[in-house]
Structure 1
Amino acid sequence: MLRYVPLLVMLTMLTTHPAMAQSDAEMKACVDRSNGVSSAMLDCGKIEIDKFDARLNAAYNTLIHRRHGPERTRLQREQRAWLKHHLQETRRLAADPNNGSAALLDSQGFELDDLSTRTVELEKRAQKNP
């Protein structure tokens, strides 16, 4: 039973955030192929993180190029604050000594959820303010 706990964590990640709907089938197939092996599931998560990271960067670059003066500075500060919290929390979860090998899965779950949330937020703002 413990062997399947990481699999359940990854599957929960798949269904908890609407921004992940686009990649759900690919992610689910990848997790299914992992057969409950944590390192393989982490590889699946890394693929999704890379996709959202590229989307986030594109949305941020679109927004930052449209902003000038105080508005641009405000967006830069906002993004830096988000990134600082994102990295701190990801690292904190990964280093949790009470969580054993599941710490990396928890960390990646947070990372993917936080990244997808921020990505969708920036994409909506970029679409709303052409």
Structure 2
Amino acid sequence: MSDLANRAVALSEESFIASSGPGGQNVNKVATAVQLRLDVFALRLSPPVFHRLKALAGSRMNARGEIVLTARNYRTQEANRQDARERLARLIEQAQEEPRTRKKSRVNRVGKTKRLKGKKARSQVKANRGKVDW
């Protein structure tokens, strides 16, 4: 985990809620699901990283700038807590990765003539599909 991801996990708040997932009768008695909240503004991210994080988080980010993750895949509170923390760290690490810029490709002369020859042949095929005059 990166330094920023560790800081994010440390700044996040956890609350436990009743889960609808696996757990049998235990599900009715114990709050095993974890709801992790992180105030993104507390991380003091640079604008490009913030915008990437906002796009990646999608509907998991609310209007107050909090990312809310809910983990309820496991039967135990501890496993769900670990899952939520890992997902948050992964999300922040993905936002830190700068997307590679696309480089324009250039077609050489041979490629250009080949493409134009193919277009000409195709147009000829389509032109020959017209009505036949007897």
TM-score by length of 2: 0.32
- Which protein shows a greater Rg? 2
Instruction: Select the structure that is richer in strand.
Output: 2
TM-score by length of 1: 0.33
Instruction: Select the structure that is richer in helix.
Output: 1
Q: Which has the higher contact order (CA 8 A, sep 6+)?
A: 1
